[in-house]
């Protein structure tokens, strides 16, 4: 055995635990779910092949599935752009050279590292229609606040509003992008007589588009899999107004033990995410500007 072979073998031995874990807990379940999506399987009895019946039922007969798709798309179409605007705006504000700016950055970043369950529990109190902080503040101005989480008209938008709480996570990424913009571009713009608004729209935002694109892709993927907050706060109600796709998938799998049906839903979600992500990558050539 030569030195090169020994070196390669040593490397394979070191990565073997990760490879074994990947094959056991990721690759095999991935392949297995594809098979189960064509079966009727309830965990108790062996899987029975039924072909594309699960997919046909989802597309043609399941009104809850269609509602879950619509709720998820509606949430993503509002929450993702709003999160990007809020993150970029906050990063621009916190990019200023003022005294104590690091403290402000820390304060706005801290909420994003609070565990999701803890944040959700806090917001269940904040949005409580009787004793909540939001309705309490509105009452001081003579406004009767809605029943945020129990009103079908407001429940989804309450979750959108709660999503802004963790915008500090993307804000840090935008800040890093702002710091990476060459200063000579601003100097040249000032020499040419560009004002603050022109520098923002013609220098800052175009140079920040790679970072915006990254957060856009990650935001879309995240919202398509939105689950924890809705599960804890609303359980999909009221009147299925917050029954997100991932929440309905969870119910089919673990509440109704319909693993074959849930596997079909998981593959539809996977294909949808891949399609939307591919579309975003296809459009980036028109609006994402790389410095090089």
- pLDDT digits over 148-157, tens only? 999 999 999 9
For residue 279, CA distances in Å to 70, 79, 209, 217, 275 come to 19, 19, 16, 10, 6
**CATH number of 262's domain:** 1.10.3720.10
Question: Is residue 147 in a domain?
Answer: yes
CB 98 within 8 A of CB 112: no
DSSP-assigned letters across all residues of 253-276: IIIS--HHHHHHHHHHHHHHHHHH
pLDDT at 112 over 90: no
Under 8 Å between Cβ of 134 and 49: no
Q: Is residue 222's pLDDT more than 70? A: yes
Which domain, by its residues, includes 84? Answer: 63-287
Residue 27 is given by DSSP the state I
With respect to residue 21, please indicate whether it lies within any of the assigned structural domains: no
Checking if the pLDDT of 291 tops 80, the result is no
CB 144 within 8 A of CB 177: no
Is there a domain that residue 37 lies in?
Answer: no
Structure tokens at 256: 């109704």
What is d(CA 114, CA 121) in angstroms, rounded to the nearest whole number?
11
239 domain residue, yes or no: yes
Task: Indicate whether 9 belongs to any domain.
Answer: no
CA 48 to chain centre: 35
Q: Where would I find the H helices in 23-167?
A: 28-36, 53-60, 63-93, 101-109, 116-126, 133-140, 155-163
| Distance between CA atoms of residues 138 and 154, nearest Å | 15
Q: Is the pLDDT of residue 292 over 70?
A: no
- Number of domains present in the structure of the chain: 1
Share of the chain above pLDDT 70, in %: 99
Span 278-288, mean pLDDT? 92
* CA separation for the pair 48, 31 (Å, rounded): 17
* Chain segment 117-155, per-residue pLDDT in tens: 999 999 999 999 888 999 999 998 888 889 999 999 999
> What's the whole-number average pLDDT of the chain?
92
Per-residue pLDDT band for 1 (boundaries 50, 70, 90) equals: low
Q: How far is CA 247 from CA 63, 166, 240, 276, 277, in A?
A: 15, 21, 11, 20, 21
* 0.75 exceeded by pTM: yes
Compute the Cα dihedral for 162, 279, 208, 211 and give only its sign. positive
User: Exposure string (b/e) for 181-196, b if CB count within 10 Å is 16 or more?
Assistant: beeebeeebeeeebee
Q: Give a yes or no: residue 23 inside a domain.
A: no
Report yes or no on 57 lying in a domain. Answer: no
Half-sphere exposure of 151 (CA within 13 A, CB side): 11
DSSP code for 289: -
Whether 12 is in a domain gets the answer no
DSSP 8-class letter at 28:
H
Which residue has 């990424």 as its token pair? 173
3-state secondary structure of 39: strand
- For 167-213, what is each residue's pLDDT tens digit? 988 999 999 999 999 989 999 999 989 899 999 999 999 999 999 99
């Amino acid at each position: 055995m030569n030195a090169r072979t020994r070196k390669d073998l040593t490397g394979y031995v070191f990565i073997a635990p990760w490879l074994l874990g990947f094959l056991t807990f990721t690759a095999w379940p991935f392949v297995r779910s594809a098979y189960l999506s064509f079966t009727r399987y309830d965990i108790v009895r062996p899987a029975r092949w039924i072909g594309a019946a699960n997919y046909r039922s989802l597309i043609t007969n399941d009104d809850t599935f269609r509602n879950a798709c619509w709720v998820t798309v509606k949430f993503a179409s509002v929450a993702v752009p709003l999160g990007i605007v809020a993150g970029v705006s906050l990063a621009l504000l916190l990019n200023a050279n003022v005294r104590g700016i690091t403290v402000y950055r820390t304060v706005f970043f801290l909420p994003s590292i609070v565990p999701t369950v803890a944040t959700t529990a806090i917001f269940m109190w904040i949005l409580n229609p009787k004793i909540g902080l939001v309705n309490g503040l509105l009452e001081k101005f003579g406004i009767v606040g809605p029943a945020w989480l129990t009103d079908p008209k407001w429940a989804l938008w309450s979750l959108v509003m709660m999503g802004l709480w963790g915008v500090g996570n993307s804000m840090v990424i935008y800040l890093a992008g702002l710091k990476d913009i060459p200063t000579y571009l601003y100097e040249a713009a000032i020499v040419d007589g560009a004002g603050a608004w022109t520098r923002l729209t013609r220098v800052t935002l175009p140079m920040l588009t790679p970072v915006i694109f990254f957060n856009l892709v990650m935001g879309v993927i995240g919202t398509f899999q939105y689950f924890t907050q809705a599960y804890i706060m609303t359980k999909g109600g009221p009147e299925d107004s917050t029954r997100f796709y991932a929440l309905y998938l969870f119910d089919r799998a673990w509440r109704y033990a319909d693993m074959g049906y849930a596997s079909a839903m998981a593959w539809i979600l996977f294909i949808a995410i891949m399609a939307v992500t591919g579309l975003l990558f296809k459009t980036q050539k028109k609006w994402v500007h790389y410095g090089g």
